[in-house]
Amino acid sequence: MNRRYFVGATAALAVCSRAMSSHQPSGLKMHQSFNEGWTFHKGTAKGAEAAGFDDSGWRTLDLPHDWAIEGPFDEKYNARSGGLPFHGTGWYRKTFDVPAEAAGKRVLITFDGAMYNAHVWVNGHFVGNRPYGYIEFQYDISKYLKFGAANVIAVRLQPEDLSTRWYPGAGIYRNVWLDYRNPIHVKQWGVTIETPEISDHIGKVAVRTELAGDTEDRTLSILHEVISPDGKTVAQLEVPGVSTGFQTMSVEKPKRWDLHSPNLYTLVTTVRKAGEEMDRVENRFGFRTLEFTKKEFRLNGRPVRIQGVCLHHDNGPLGAVVNRRADERKLQIMKKMGVNSIRTSHNPPSNEVLDLCDELGILVQDEAFDVWEIAKVPNGYNMFFAEWGERDLKDMVRRDRNHPSVFMWSIGNEILEQRDAKIGPEMAKKLNDWVKEVDTTRPTTCGFNWWPGPYETGMAAQIDIAGMNYKPLAYGAPVNEYLPDNPVVGSETSSCTSSRGVYHLPIEKYKTHESKQVSSYDIIGPPWAYPPDVEFHQLKLNPEVYGEYVWTGFDYLGEPTPYGGRDNSTNGYWNDDWPCRSSYFGAVDLCGFPKDRFYLYQSQWTREPMVHVLPHWNWEGSGHESIPVMAYTNCEEVELFVNGVSKGRKVKGKDLTRLPVKFNHYEKDYFDSPYRLSWEVPYEPGAIRVVGYIGGKAVAEKEIETAGAPAKIKLIPDRRKLMADGSDLSYVTVRIEDRKGRLCPLADNTVKFRVSGAGTIAAVGNGNAATTAPFQADHRDAFSGMCMLIVKAGKNNGKIRVKAESDGLQPDEVKLVLR
């Protein structure tokens, strides 16, 4: 089947539809956070759903909460899922007052996500069940409430062992909201925005509104107002009665949403009954055009190559809990690497991630599932897919269709149905059709890792864009034989692994290393994997491929490949190389510290002149007399100096670096990379310095010096001013330095932290994937000379004093301010 290529001439949609304000009885807030004041119990609790159950002995906490990240790590848990206790039963309860004046209102409870198999009771009445831990769900609990009195909500979660291939977290790990709405109100995700026509002069805004309640009332009207990025009303339309179709407005000289200018408009939708305001919601959206042809992807008429990364949902030492600042920092680091798109592997992301991508100008491939009906692990989502798959997929699209950052819908990743010639194509078409029933302004895709199965059977032709996982050698003629018209994207690429600051000599391809670390010379990976250079080269040879999504941008909890186990092996525990318990795949480690590979991608994806050099320069007593030195750069030439003496200037693209390479279906055992420059240098203590040249002029440089003995601690907070909101974070980099302030790259000193004043310790970490040290602690060992302290703001203005100490080292102290 040859499907036409998808052309999306519409741009649109935006942030989650949240009720922002409305006329309500005095003191009744329409939309409010429901995160504070819960009680929690890990384990079974007979009768805990009952309103009168005694939970006075339970722990009190605020949401979001991930019980598993608290640990402890234990070998009895599965390392493929982080070696943490994410499975079992957990109960959450909250007592809350409902004002008497709320009688007659619709009271709605919304969970942005609960991991997983949530069951909800209100005042002992069963309200509903939602199995998928990544999906937002809402209940109208009005009929179960006592107005003018105390009420009790209870939530039971039951994550199962072997239910996922990575760390999912556990608990109510995303935000919860309570809404008081009039009987006539906008439904959940009830505003759809499209921009069917866009030019420099006029932008058309098409809006469809779905209401709950008595929509036959002839006195109803809906007012739409478009607010520009600078806060001005630029269009409005009032519609008498209720229409199920689209209503159109025009905006003069619309400002485009783009990667470098992510302009966001706001649509304010007000529902009126006989002139009285019944409901009001706000949705952000953007004007932008998407075009997908066999040859290229165009954003606002401009060709864009996808420079993407796959990102799991966890926030490293914080676990799976949603935190806006944590996600913002993650995305900012990715943008610095040159990333312009993320793939939400392999599940719907949080509202916060999509809001941030809208604001930062990052395209999103929004992915629904890692599995359909055929299991990858015994207790996975496949158990629920037949009953819930359609609803979960459509709910994801309904929730996210108003985000301008979302430009592709992925219906799955490495789905095992791709091995069935009949079921695979049928299922792919079914899911594709489900998406198109909700949204036709964006294409569908799916990540295929089996070659050429889904292409031969026609499964890949059932979707708009074929996602190719780890098949760079099939780009061009091989895949075009099956898909002459459909576009292709590298939906998962490279899978190179490394440990920050670790270098193994000689440079050679190996499966695992006795240190349980992986060399940062950026050549090591599992059998399907290859160095980033191979992907760069194949994309250059095949410019019609849209680009790539690297596996992965950040390290993540679980899947400690190349250690511990084999992917997709049901009943498989990955504990053979304990304590390896988290990913080595990231270009950035679990704490957000860039690895060398970060700079390799930066050298290909950014234009501001840069040069990076590796390895460190502390090799005394190592037994290695000669050290391979590599430079990553976007400059034309690089010159290496050792203790001020030039070791020669080399030209990028001309002077090749031979890398040992071996992966599936690759016939050679090496790759001559034009993307790295290298020298073999006799070791002598001192300094190595690289200088990058463009047009013969020095434009960038970097130097690494031999460090002396560890002498002091250096604290470097990423932010010194925080919001006093109870959730804002400062990530404090902790460096072990010698007396001259040089990083000690081999240091592993234990650092003790003291945080006082208006904040607390949220977590600690060091990026080491092979340690069982807890994340929630007041101390941490350095790894490759560094570790991380994450400080959480309190809810009152004031100062936070952060002090770090270690035996034999000069301490350091910083102060943070809350406002």
pLDDT higher than 50, residue 22: no
As a whole-number percent, the residues of the chain with pLDDT over 90 amount to 93
Looking at the DSSP bridge assignments, the partners of residue 712 are 737, 810
- Third-level CATH fold of 305-494+532-557+584-605: TIM Barrel (3.20.20)
- For 744, other C-beta atoms within 10 Å of its C-beta total 24
Spatial neighbors of 816 by CB under 8 A, at least 6 apart, are 717, 719, 720, 721, 722, 730, 759, 791, 799, 800, 802
How high is the pLDDT of residue 27? 58
Report the distance separating Cα 478 and Cα 75, nearest Å.
44
Report the distance separating Cα 361 and Cα 530, nearest Å.
29
pLDDT higher than 50, residue 525: yes
Report the distance separating Cα 486 and Cα 432, nearest Å.
15
3-class state of residue 434 by DSSP: helix
Report the distance separating Cα 641 and Cα 629, nearest Å.
11
- Third-level CATH fold of 11-16+185-285: Immunoglobulin-like (2.60.40)
pLDDT higher than 50, residue 237: yes
437 in catalytic set = no
Cβ–Cβ under 8 Å, residues 88 and 43: yes
Choice among 16-30, 290-304, 526-540, 567-581 with the minimum mean pLDDT: 16-30
Domain 23-181 homologous superfamily, CATH:
Galactose-binding domain-like (2.60.120.260)
Q: Which of 637, 649, 635 is nearest to 679 (CA)?
A: 649
From the candidates 282, 367, 414, 639, give the one annotated as an active-site residue: 414
How high is the pLDDT of residue 799? 97
160 in catalytic set = no
Report the distance separating Cα 688 and Cα 694, nearest Å.
20
From the candidates 492, 535, 701, 737, give the one annotated as an active-site residue: 492
Instruction: Give the phi and the psi of residue 120 in degrees, each rounded to 5.
Output: -125, 135
pLDDT higher than 60, residue 25: no
User: How confident is the model over 716-748, as pLDDT tens digits?
Assistant: 999 999 999 999 999 999 999 999 999 999 999
User: How confident is the model over 672-690, as pLDDT tens digits?
Assistant: 999 999 999 999 999 999 9
User: How confident is the model over 62-84, as pLDDT tens digits?
Assistant: 999 999 999 999 999 999 999 99
Q: Do domains 23-181 and 712-818 have the same CATH topology?
A: no
How high is the pLDDT of residue 631? 98
- For 91, other C-beta atoms within 10 Å of its C-beta total 22
How high is the pLDDT of residue 218? 86
pLDDT higher than 60, residue 8: no
Quickly state the pLDDT bin for 571 (edges 50, 70, 90).
Answer: low
Report the distance separating Cα 21 and Cα 38, nearest Å.
26
| Rounded average pLDDT over 230-259 | 93
Quickly state the pLDDT bin for 10 (edges 50, 70, 90).
Answer: very low
Q: How far is CA 616 from the centre of its chain?
A: 30
Report the distance separating Cα 88 and Cα 86, nearest Å.
7
Domain ranges in the chain are 11-16+185-285, 23-181, 305-494+532-557+584-605, 611-705, 712-818
Report the distance separating Cα 298 and Cα 431, nearest Å.
25
How high is the pLDDT of residue 680? 97
pLDDT higher than 90, residue 241: no
End-to-end CA distance of the chain: 60
How high is the pLDDT of residue 569? 63
Quickly state the pLDDT bin for 814 (edges 50, 70, 90).
Answer: very high
CATH 2.60.40.10 fits 712-818, yes or no: yes
626 vs 1, residue with greater confidence: 626
How high is the pLDDT of residue 570? 57
How high is the pLDDT of residue 568? 66
Quickly state the pLDDT bin for 565 (edges 50, 70, 90).
Answer: confident
Q: What share of the chain is helix, strand, coil (3-state, %, to 5)?
A: 15, 35, 50
Read off the tokens for 636: 């034309």
Cβ–Cβ under 8 Å, residues 320 and 314: yes
pLDDT higher than 90, residue 19: no
- Domain 611-705 class in CATH: mainly beta
Report the distance separating Cα 49 and Cα 126, nearest Å.
8
How high is the pLDDT of residue 26? 45
Report the distance separating Cα 147 and Cα 647, nearest Å.
80
Choice among 217-226, 357-366, 592-601 with the minimum mean pLDDT: 217-226
User: How confident is the model over 31-42, as pLDDT tens digits?
Assistant: 999 999 999 999
Vertex 281, ends 278 and 287: CA angle to 5°? Answer: 145
